[in-house]
Amino acid sequence: MLGYVELMNQCMDRARIAANNAVGNYQNYYCCYEQKMEADLTLANYLLSHIDEAVAKGWIKVYYQPIVDTFSSKISTYEALARWIDPNYGFLNPGEFIEVLERGHLIHKLDLHILDLVCQDLEEAMQKGETYPMISVNLSRYDLELPDLHERVNTILSRHGVKAPRSGSKSPSRPCSAILKPSSRSISAASMRTATRSGWMTSAAASHP
């Protein structure tokens, strides 16, 4: 059993966790502790302390989701999506790590890594003479805090021979999107293919942002 001091410390810790969960909620001014909150906090701390390792060891993968033109009913481009496949937590969806990385101001490590993976895929397709798609890569608004973001992005693009002809808004949570293609070569929407890090293949669209 816990002693009195240990019990009081646990109560204070759980009260602090509940209070932190109430921050930003202007409809409820209090929050009751739930065991899931502690599990979420443990995961958040893990993600923040392992983002560099995840990038270095290839735990973060890029998945491609087709974007269909509503007028032609054809695929117009693909959106690059991040998935974290962790040796301890297994398959993690963006909702489990993007907001955590944004709060920790480490989201640029994920976004620039995804950009690099996309450019690697495009470069590989060019070298093989394959048809390659145009791909939308999401950037967080927090990436704009980097004073050298422009230089970092251009370094990745030039390293793989990829250029970004245009950019546009995306959504309030992930507002920046760049459309990438290796050259001005025309692309047939009907022949576009998705890719995984193991190679180019036809696959089903992912459903998460």
Q: How many other CB atoms sit within 10 Å of the CB of residue 156?
A: 20
List the one residue out of 151, 80, 91, 88 whose CA is nearest residue 121.
80
* Region 183-207 average pLDDT: 31
List the one residue out of 32, 51, 53 whose CA is nearest residue 43.
51
Q: Is the pLDDT higher at 61 or at 196?
A: 61
Inform me whether the pLDDT recorded for 40 exceeds 80.
Answer: yes
Q: Where are the beta strands (DSSP E) in the chain?
A: 60-68, 75-86, 90-92, 135-139, 163-169, 176-181, 194-196, 199-201
Q: What is the pLDDT of residue 180?
A: 52
Q: What is the pLDDT of residue 120?
A: 92
Q: What tokens were used for 196?
A: 């995984």
Q: What is the pLDDT of residue 107?
A: 95
Q: What is the pLDDT of residue 179?
A: 52
* Region 138-147 average pLDDT: 92
* Region 167-173 average pLDDT: 41
Q: What percent of the chain has pLDDT over 70?
A: 76
Residue 169: phi and psi, rounded to 5, are -80, 155
* Region 146-155 average pLDDT: 93
pLDDT band at 32 (very low <50, low <70, confident <90, very high): confident
Kindly report the pTM of this predicted structure. Answer: 0.72
Q: What is the pLDDT of residue 165?
A: 54
Q: What is the pLDDT of residue 207?
A: 30
Q: How many other CB atoms sit within 10 Å of the CB of residue 34?
A: 13
pLDDT band at 125 (very low <50, low <70, confident <90, very high): confident
* Region 111-139 average pLDDT: 89
Inform me whether the pLDDT recorded for 209 exceeds 50.
Answer: no
List the one residue out of 42, 21, 51 whose CA is nearest residue 33.
21
Q: What is the pLDDT of residue 126?
A: 87
**Range in 32-41, 79-88, 104-113, 122-131 with the lowest mean pLDDT:** 32-41
Give CA–CA dist 116/129, Å, rounded: 20
Inform me whether the pLDDT recorded for 177 exceeds 90.
Answer: no
